[in-house]
Chains A and B, each alone.
Chain A
Amino acid sequence: MEKIKSLYLHIPFCTWVCKYCDFNTYAVLEGLIPSYTDALCKEIEVVARRYPVGPLDTVFFGGGTPSLLSQLQLETVMRTVTQAIGLRPGAEVTLEANPGNISTVSCLGWLAAGVNRLSIGIQSLRPGALRFLERLHSGEEAINAIRAARAASFSNISCDLLYGVPGVATTAFLEDLTAVLAERPQHVSAYELTVEPITRLAQEVRAGQVVMPEADLQLEQYWSAAEVLARAGFDHYEISNWARPGYRCRHNLTYWEYRPYLGCGAGAHSLLRLDDGSSERFWNVKGPQAYIDRVAAEGVSVAGRELLATERAAGEAAMIGMRMLDGTRAAGAFPAERERLAAAGLLVEEGETVRLTRRGVELANQVGAAFLR
């Protein structure tokens, strides 16, 4: 079994669940955070003994809103990770944070706990868009959050932005992007606002209260953002991710390169890679209370599991690997599909590597699906 070097830690709590979000997160359950943190530590200790893991290259606190953890809680979790699994020198430790939780003081605390990469959920700087998205911060607060992180000496800052927000014109979106880039972050993720089926946004779209922008406008915003970012010296290294040289998110690269990882916390997924090329994936129960109870009883909280035989695992690796714009070697087992997609102008083949074309990026699902049975 391939040695696991990445750990994901899920913090399923938010002050408010935004209407477009379908992540595993809960508002009004903050009272559970202390016992949840205890359960999380216990699970980390159990999986550390059960799987070939560590020392870790990357740790990622995702959510939810991990910045809701107190300084002490974060330190406790980090200490558990270090003692039970171990961190390599230079390991990347990311924390997702909302602008409202970011101050110089909180940043200094996170740095002290061992966090060295901050991923800030900015989404937009426009009051109208922020209100529409139900974000709890203002544009000014978002900019100040980046400044506070820099002032506390975070040297690896990522900013999340959303495009394709109803009512936001391309020029307005690009203004936001430019304003964010002026704060010199090392990494940017720009996501299309997607209507996920079980969200309030989906309800509003079905009811005709919200009209989502056409594909042409979404793509216009996407490609013009890509241009602005390229001019600012960012590499477009994944469909929705850009980084200055040396600042690609190593944790997320684990997923895209189909290397194994462990996920702890409610609803978190883990992937094991076996020597014959097959994979095993398992995931935890989603509800925080259920998670806490299961971990208390069994030490882990696995809800489901799937085994992917070699060929299917290879298909999955290719499906996800082609999201990296430098290309992937994971599609080697699919010469016929590669040829067909290349002929269709969606891929270019460079030796063992295949890479999405511009059109291939726009139709990445078609490419991904080709590698599945």
Chain B
Amino acid sequence: MPTPTSLIRAISVIAHVDHGKTTLSDRLLEFTGTVAPRDMVEQVLDQLDLERERGITIKAQAVRMLYQAQDGKTYQINLIDTPGHVDFSYEVSRALAACDGAILVVDASQGVEAQTIANAHQAMEHHLKIVPVINKIDLQQANPELVREEIEKALGLPGDTAILASARQGIGTREILEAVVREVPPPTGDPAAPLQALIFDAKFDAYRGVVTYVRVLEGGLRPGMRILMMQTGKTFEVDEVGIFRPDRIPIEELSAGEVGYLIASIRNVRDSRVGDTVTDAARPAAEPLPGYRHVTPMVFAGLFPTDSEQYQDLKEALEKLQLNDASLIYEPETSAALGFGFRCGFLGLLHMEIVQERLEREFDLSLLATAPTVEYRVKLRNGEEVPVDNPDHLPDPAQIESISEPVVLATIVVPSAYVGNMMELSQERRGQFLNMQYEPGDRVIITYRMPLGEIIHDYYDQLKSRSKGYASLDYELAGFEEANLVKLDVLVGGSPVDALSMIVHREKAQVHGRRLAERLKALIPRQLFEVPIQAAIGGKIVARETVPALRKDVIAKCYGGDVTRKRKLLEKQKEGKKRMKRVGNVEIPQEAFMAVLTLD
């Protein structure tokens, strides 16, 4: 018996990273009896091992709760938990598109931070009703009154109605649920209209194929229906529909307003595209729902198997991982230094790190990643424009008319004492100052227009370290801008190493070249020969360092009883060398290929 739409709510929990939204979700699940106390583990909704280990949410999760409100009625509340890290903000965006309201969690001691603002703005763009919650009020440093003021001033939301809560201690849970049923509007869809359901996530299940996460906005979705994906034009027959509690539970029908999943023997996640509209093939809706921000990779890097024999394994692993992570893209790449591998596109550095870790862990691979880079647009003299996501593929400078780089709008929220440091750092990184706004509680919101390429090179770490950890950052892509960029080549032992080249601003090229050469000198072990390391711009050497030759490597004694031990020792040495990459005559250890990352 379907729930009347007046008793349905669909909400998301949004917050800056670490403000406690996953803990709050845990409390809501407990309070509504969705998860029995004996089944309760921390971070119930985080399903990847990595998520629990790192205490972060990577994938959005959906769950249905039943809540008996003080008005005596039982409401169906659909909750979507979202990741907090900026790399995964597209996950937030797609979750919000499937909701009518959002619980905005703000840490009572940290206050409003960069992603609080970014997420609140996204929720407003989706016209969601926002329920502000001030969390962690049990902490000694909590200052809820100040946070109320910040919510008013920085977000333009009514601060006085913000609910005081402690997810850890279960304070305020009932008040939050009451506010949700009272303030978030019920869905407006008509259960009798032609089906319109929004796909907000998809997962690959080894046994069932693709599990598609949907919110039904109009009509109903039942097993046996023939559905049409409006963007791709593909049709499938629905095998099963169901809800998450939080495990999958099949039901008879998902009707207007409800959140759940469908299984339709879809083999490939790409046929169940996030943002697409599912409709009834027999009685299609007139038009698709508005999609949302298309996910584009922000950073690119080469992934190479350490052991070239693992190339095929890596290929299969990427295929499998992509089934669950549509934001990961890749194509084959060949490097003179590293052999066969894949050029991969990621949402950000954390995403890259997680993909690499999942590949190594879940597929037992040993990988070498090259330094991440952004995608440049190169205008050639013949008028053509080519994208370049690999520094080594930059065309001959003689053919280049201009190079544009992606820029972002960066928002930094920081206590006023660190404003100077933040500005200094951002200017070092070629940031263009846009605005500064003083907020209550000694907070300053600074906005910069900055090259994305500068952000991916440890800008965030620097931001944190130069503000004693107080600064928070959010950014969004803001187009491409022409810049005076050059390719910095690295020669080791006289031969160029393609995997070490980078694209940098001309003014910084020399400094970068020098630092890179220094770092490489420290990372490349002594060899039989002296190894010169050179950095060059367009054939001109701008920096040079030398790894001195190995001075002494000899065992004093080798008699009858020493032979086995000595042989094993030398074999082990040789084994260590095999893990390095040989470029020309020089053995280069893996860390060297990431050296570019930490030049500042």
Contact = CB atoms under 8 A, between A and B. Distances in A.
B563 A320 contact: yes
B560 A239 contact: no
A364 B555 contact: yes
A350 interface: no
Given A239-B556, A240-B556, A365-B555, A268 B573 contact: no
B141 interface: no
A281 B563 contact: yes
B163 to A, nearest CB: 57
B571 interface: yes
Contacts of B563: 255, 269, 271, 281, 316, 320
B567 A372 contact: yes
Interface stretch (B34-42, B65-73, B462-470, B545-553): B545-553
B559 interface: yes
B550 A366 contact: yes
B561 A269 contact: yes
Nearest to A216: B551
A366 B576 CA distance: 13
Which size class do A's interface residues fall under? Answer: 35 or more
Nearest to A369: B570
Given A368-B570, A372-B574, A240 B552 contact: no
B433 interface: no
Contact of A323 (B529, B553, B558): B558
A269 B564 contact: yes
Contacts of B550: 363, 366
Interface string A252-284: 101110000101000111010000000001010
Given A306-B564, A372-B571, A365 B557 contact: no
Contact of B567 (A8, A252, A271, A316): A316
B192 interface: no
Q: Which of A62, A252, A372 is the most central at the interface, judged by chain B CB atoms within 10 Å of its CB? A: A372
Contacts of A281: 563-564
Contact of B554 (A254, A271, A320, A362): A362
A2 B572 CA distance: 30
A192 B552 CA distance: 12
Contacts of A373: 571, 574
Nearest to B564: A281
B558 A363 contact: no
B478 interface: no
Contacts of A363: 528, 550, 552-554
Interface string B569-591: 01101100000000000000000
Contact of B573 (A239, A256, A269, A365): A365
Contacts of B556: 191-192, 194, 239-240
Contact of A365 (B551, B554, B560): B554
Nearest to B563: A320
A240 B573 CA distance: 22
A194 to B, nearest CB: 5
Which size class do B's interface residues fall under? Answer: 20 to 34
B560 A261 contact: yes
A255 B560 contact: yes
A320 B558 contact: yes
A346 interface: yes
Contacts of A24: 561
Contacts of B561: 8, 24, 263, 267-269, 283
A296 B566 CA distance: 31
Contacts of B566: 319-320, 368
A361 interface: yes
Nearest to A312: B567
A215 B552 contact: yes
Q: Which of B552, B553, B574 is the most central at the interface, judged by chain A CB atoms within 10 Å of its CB? A: B552
Contacts of A215: 551-552
B560 A8 contact: yes
Contacts of B571: 369, 372-373
A316 B574 CA distance: 14
A364 B413 CA distance: 59
Interface string B184-206: 00000000000000000000000
B558 A365 contact: no
B565 to A, nearest CB: 10
Contacts of B528: 344, 346, 363, 366
Contacts of A170: none
Given A255-B563, A281-B563, A344-B528, A319 B554 contact: no
A369 B573 contact: yes
A138 interface: no
Nearest to A189: B557
A24 B560 CA distance: 13
B568 to A, nearest CB: 9
A316 B568 CA distance: 10
A218 interface: yes
Nearest to B570: A369
Contacts of A198: none
A218 to B, nearest CB: 7
A68 B528 CA distance: 45
A261 B561 CA distance: 11
B560 A369 contact: no
A219 interface: yes
Nearest to B553: A365
B446 to A, nearest CB: 47
Nearest to B550: A363
B570 A362 contact: no
Contacts of B555: 194, 364-365
B570 A252 contact: no
Nearest to A344: B528
Nearest to A162: B556
Contacts of A320: 558, 563, 566
A314 to B, nearest CB: 12
A215 B574 CA distance: 22
B552 A362 contact: yes
A219 B551 CA distance: 9
Contacts of B574: 369, 372-373
A252 B564 contact: no
Nearest to B554: A364
A320 B560 CA distance: 10
Contacts of A366: 528, 550, 553
A319 B567 contact: yes
Interface string A330-368: 000000000000001010000000000000011111101
Interface string B90-120: 0000000000000000000000000000000
9 contacts: A215-B551, A215-B552, A240-B556, A263-B560, A320-B566, A323-B558, A363-B552, A363-B553, A373-B574
The 10 A-B pairs at the shortest CB distance, nearest first, are namely: A215-B552, A369-B570, A364-B554, A215-B551, A365-B553, A269-B561, A191-B556, A192-B556, A255-B560, A363-B553
Given A8-B560, A215-B552, A219-B552, 5 more contacts: A240-B557, A254-B560, A320-B558, A365-B570, A368-B566
